[in-house]
């Protein structure tokens, strides 16, 4: 059954858990500290409700849109995720699944497959960068992305290098050597199909990141570039504006959770922002993106494209985000569960699940198009949204 069609993202996750070694699955779950943000990303959607109509519902619904200059068939994009030891084809399988669903993909600079390989599988590709290294290194990566055909650039700025999980973190080796193989052998014995799939395609994942390689040099290890990233001075908004000036095309700032940052991103030349808390993997006690989305959309939604990234598990979640101000959403763990469950077909399966859910929700709400959605389509409970405290706030 593990290679068959699945009907929900939750089922894809169950199959992924059965198929992946414990450490790999644990790395995908991730989260941070007490896991409050990780939990809230999903739970917050459950607090929002619909009041469906019962007659004169639209016979046909449309959900196509345009994001960062790319026409896509549904308002769901692939969010960039790094070091995918989930499936032998990695990001190439993800790109093919997204292309089959006619949507766009963000590719992480920490991806396990090169931008050249991935762009050949899906031309609707955006390249994601962290602020790692000096300006010369950053410019080299920008130029490589442009040469490979990337249609847009994403810069992620929200990482705080927070560490520690109350439930423990999986051991991730710097490289797969004899010591690492011996350590992970018991897990591999319990998940022989995962091991065999990789061996048939050339070997166990080596945890290198080819998109961070210097010209003519071999791909560095993930932890090698992570160290470079940690030692790089944090960027200013002037740095962001400089990077934007190096890129002739759509430019997204990812990791926005504050209206002030949204405005500064617009002032720096961003054409899109992603309302995101890094999947709950970053600063714990950060609210779910859907809680801050309405305020951010109200502040800058008429100036840039606003995307939401975090907690999407079904089509109804997508509709809630669109109604509250998002132009589209991005998904991360959802497609990784699909990739683990059934490769490229599993990624497309997840996107088809979301497409079907969007369609049925539009029907129930009496909306013929995603572009017809308005905030009143969602019942928002009192106290749901979050905004910064002010000097005269009353604390209890």
The distance from CA 106 to its chain's CA centroid, rounded to whole angstroms, is 8
Report the C-alpha gap between 329 and 187 in whole angstroms. 35
Report the C-alpha gap between 258 and 375 in whole angstroms. 20
> In sequence order, which residues have a C-beta less than 8 Å from that of residue 55 and are 6 or more positions away?
none
Question: Quick one: which of 141, 106, 134 has its CA closest to 213?
Answer: 141
Report the C-alpha gap between 205 and 186 in whole angstroms. 17
Question: Quick one: which of 146, 101, 389 has its CA closest to 250?
Answer: 146
Could you give the angle at which helices 289-300 and 315-323 cross, rounded to 10 degrees?
A: 40
Per annotation, catalytic residue among 53, 183, 258, 278: 278
| DSSP-based helix, strand, coil % in the chain, nearest 5 | 45, 15, 40
Report the C-alpha gap between 330 and 386 in whole angstroms. 21
Could you give the angle at which helices 289-300 and 36-47 cross, rounded to 10 degrees?
A: 70
53 is catalytic: no
Count of beta carbons in the 10 Å neighbourhood of residue 396? 2
Report the b/e string of 226-236 with b at 16+ CB within 10 A: bebbeeeeebe
Intra-chain end-to-end CA distance of the chain, in Å: 52
Report the C-alpha gap between 246 and 143 in whole angstroms. 9
Where does residue 207 fall: left (phi above 0), alpha (psi -120 to 50 degrees), or beta otherwise? Answer: left
**Dihedral pair phi/psi, residue 116, rounded to 5°:** -65, -45
Is residue 224 packed enough to be buried (19+ CB in 10 Å), middle (13-18) or exposed (0-12)? Answer: middle
Q: Catalytic site residues? A: 278
């Amino acid at each position: 059954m593990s290679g068959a069609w699945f009907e929900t993202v939750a089922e894809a996750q169950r199959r992924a858990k059965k198929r992946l070694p414990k450490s790999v699955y644990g790395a995908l779950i991730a989260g941070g500290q007490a896991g409050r943000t990780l939990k809230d990303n999903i739970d917050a959607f459950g607090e929002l409700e619909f009041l469906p109509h019962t007659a004169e519902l639209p016979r046909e619904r449309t959900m196509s849109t345009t994001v960062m200059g790319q026409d896509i068939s549904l308002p769901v994009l692939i969010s960039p995720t790094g070091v995918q030891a989930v499936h032998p084809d990695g990001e190439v399988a993800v790109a093919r699944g997204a292309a089959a669903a006619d949507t766009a993909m963000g590719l992480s600079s920490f991806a396990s497959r090169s931008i050249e390989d991935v762009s050949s599988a899906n031309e609707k590709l955006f390249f994601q960068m962290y602020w790692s290294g000096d300006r010369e290194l950053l410019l080299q990566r920008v130029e490589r992305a442009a040469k490979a055909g990337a249609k847009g650039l994403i810069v992620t700025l929200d990482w705080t290098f927070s560490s520690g999980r109350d439930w423990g973190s999986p051991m991730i080796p710097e490289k797969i050597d004899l010591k690492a193989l011996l350590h992970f052998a018991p897990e591999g014995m319990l998940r022989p199909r995962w091991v065999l799939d990789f061996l048939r395609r050339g070997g166990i994942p080596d945890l290198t990141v080819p998109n961070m390689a210097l010209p003519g040099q071999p791909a560095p290890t993930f932890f090698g570039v992570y160290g470079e990233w940690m030692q790089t001075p944090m960027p200013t908004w002037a740095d962001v504006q400089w990077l934007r000036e190096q890129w002739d095309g759509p430019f997204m700032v990812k990791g926005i959770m504050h209206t002030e940052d949204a405005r500064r991103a617009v002032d720096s030349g961003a054409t899109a922002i992603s309302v995101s808390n890094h999947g709950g993997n970053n600063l714990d006690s950060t609210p779910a993106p859907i809680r801050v989305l309405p305020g951010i959309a109200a502040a800058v939604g008429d100036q840039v494209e606003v995307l939401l990234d975090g907690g999407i598990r079904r089509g109804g979640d997508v509709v809630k985000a669109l109604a509250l101000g998002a132009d589209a959403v991005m998904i991360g763990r959802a497609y990784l569960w699909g990739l683990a469950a059934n490769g490229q077909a599993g990624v497309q399966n997840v996107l088809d699940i979301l497409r079907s859910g969007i369609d049925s929700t539009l029907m129930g709400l009496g909306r013929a198009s995603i572009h017809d959605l308005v905030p009143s389509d969602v019942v928002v409970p009192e106290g749901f949204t979050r905004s910064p405290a002010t000097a005269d706030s009353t604390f209890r």
